[in-house]
Homo-oligomer: A and B are copies of this chain.
Amino acid sequence: MSQPLNLRVIPMGGVGEIGKNMTLVEYDERILIIDAGLMFPENDMLGVDILIPDMSYVLEHREQVCGVIVTHGHEDHTGALPYLLPHLDQVPVYATRLTRGLVEVKLKEHKTAQPNFCTIAAGDKLDIGPFQVEFFHVSHSIPDGVGLAIRTPAGLIVHTGDFKLDHSPVDGQRTDFAKLADLGREGVLLLLSDSTNAETPGYTPSEQEIASTLEQAFMGAQGRVIVATFASNISRVQQVVDIAARHDRFVSVIGRSMVNNVRMAQELGYLHVPNGVMVGAEEINYLPSNKIALVCTGSQGEPTSALVRMASGDSRSITLKAGDTVIISATPIPGNEELVNRTVNNLFRRGATVYYDELFDVHVSGHASQEEQKMMLNLIRPQFFAPVHGEYRHLVLHARLAEQVGLPKERIFILDSGDILQLNCLSASLAGRVAQDRVFVDGLGVGDVDDAVLEERRLLSRNGFLVVAVAVDVYTGQVLAPPRIVSRGLAYNQEAEALLRGIEEQAGKLAAEGGNAAAISSRLKASLASYVYDQIGRRPVIQPLVIEI
């Protein structure tokens, strides 16, 4: 019998959470892709719509890809599929029913062809190329999530997916402890485990725990009850539906992505709505306020979301009144705090009673806290461990937990995005990196916005621009018409007009000094920059255009 080959594991991503958006497992020149998700840009990534993993390595080796597994239906695990699947002809995509439904909705929104889906369920064992993959259920803030046991001749890899150990999940589906124990007994070469909450001591509360806050809000509500949460948080919607029904209120869902997901989850049987409870957005106008519960997007203060429009009085359909109750059932994602604060202040200004995370238990995390992470380590007892799904500091902290439960430091690998971990049954080591830059998606462009473009946008965002166009005679260098100026984002009011007239005058003088186009251009650029800075202390982007006629 020949020696088993090496396994290679590569967490991808490049921004923020490492390995969260995509992980590659390679054996015998075959690649298994786990998840293909997106990240939202940070505040200083101007004009960028989303970030996706750098797929150049995958696309260079596309003929080796034997399958794509989607562990659950959240955007940070599915959102890059529209950018990946069109390049992978006929490669099967493995997902549970709800996850598949959510991916189908997303692909439709992107007008991307549906792939070769293979619907799986927890408990299934499938051969995907050289990998035998067994799916086991994990609880998370969305139903139907799975973790993976990936068997290869070189050993067994366990990938937890996003998980928590919820003992009373809303959908009744617990993380499969027995399977984890079995895997531990079988002998696991490598554990890849969710590090998101490595900063949080203790246990993450059950999703059920927020029922009491919702109950309290519904009990005290005089007017409408409006619950804002993530569009994909089907378990949260289920809880709102249950409580609304108990309090004799009708439920309406607002916001396109929310409506699509809720409809699909209902059709697939993941969301159970008593007959007659769900009503359309138009019907709520005919119901008394105390019979209405609304579920909507906007929990992150997204400027165009339903909740934010209600808070600022811009919503055509819903005008908030004193007496209405708003529950923001989420915690702000880092970077969104200002937007959420602004929304909460506006809701208070409208006289609404607001349940939000500073004051109430309106949200529980979907991720394992430290004690659960230790439990996972102790159930699996892996030979090697690589914390994944977290920012760099979370991986370091998760690694420390592993040391605490007895794993020797040299068997723990803190990988950065693109790092290649090479393993066989005896040893593991870093074996280089694949190119792994962050890829920005802006409009239809994928990757045509880079750091240089962002830097230009940053300069423009600070002080705007100033373009000076001058037409000169190509032979004599004579200025043929007064310079024309266009400026945006620089300044605005009477003084600014005086400034612009001053600039025009300067430009006229500078151009009249003659020379060829290049000479005039560089003279204009330098002198106008210092003129503007002297006048108003700003440095707009200045670009002369010398037209030779």
Please tell me which stretch of A69-77, A313-321, A455-463 contacts chain B, meaning at least 4 of its Cβ atoms lie within 8 angstroms of it: A455-463
A545-B464 contact given A354-B393, A392-B348, A456-B489, CB 8 Å threshold: no
Please tell me which stretch of A170-178, A208-216, A337-345, A431-439 contacts chain B, meaning at least 4 of its Cβ atoms lie within 8 angstroms of it: A337-345
Cβ-closest chain B residue relative to A391: B345
A445-B538 contact given A471-B547, A481-B548, CB 8 Å threshold: yes
C-alpha spacing A533/B445, complex, angstroms: 11
Residues of B within 8 Å of A447, CB to CB, are: 493
A492 near B453 with CB under 8 A, answer: yes
A444 near B549 with CB under 8 A, answer: no
A513 at the interface (CB under 8 A from B): no
**What copy number does this chain have within its complex?**
2
CB distance from A147 to the nearest CB of B (A): 26
| Contact bitstring A443-486, B, C-beta under 8 A = 1, else 0 | 11101111011001111111111010101000000001100101
C-alpha spacing A492/B453, complex, angstroms: 6
B461 near A46 with CB under 8 A, answer: yes
| Contact bitstring A525-549, B, C-beta under 8 A = 1, else 0 | 0000000010111100101010111
C-alpha spacing A358/B394, complex, angstroms: 11
A153 at the interface (CB under 8 A from B): no
Residues of B within 8 Å of A467, CB to CB, are: 467, 469, 486, 543, 545
Cβ-closest chain B residue relative to A461: B461
CB under 8 Å from chain B, chain A span 52-86: none
B464 near A457 with CB under 8 A, answer: yes
A491 at the interface (CB under 8 A from B): yes
Residues of B within 8 Å of A408, CB to CB, are: none
B541 near A449 with CB under 8 A, answer: no
Question: Taking beta carbons and an 8 Å cutoff, which residues of A are in contact with B?
Answer: 42-44, 46-47, 199, 334-335, 337-338, 341, 344-345, 348-349, 354, 358-359, 391-393, 396-397, 442-445, 447-450, 452-453, 456-465, 467, 469, 471, 480-481, 484, 486, 488-493, 495-496, 533, 535-538, 541, 543, 545, 547-549
Q: List 29 A-B contacts (CB under 8 A).
A: A43-B44, A43-B338, A47-B463, A47-B464, A334-B338, A335-B337, A344-B393, A349-B392, A359-B397, A442-B491, A442-B537, A443-B533, A443-B538, A448-B492, A453-B464, A453-B489, A453-B491, A456-B489, A460-B460, A467-B486, A469-B484, A469-B547, A480-B549, A481-B547, A486-B543, A486-B545, A488-B541, A545-B545, A547-B547
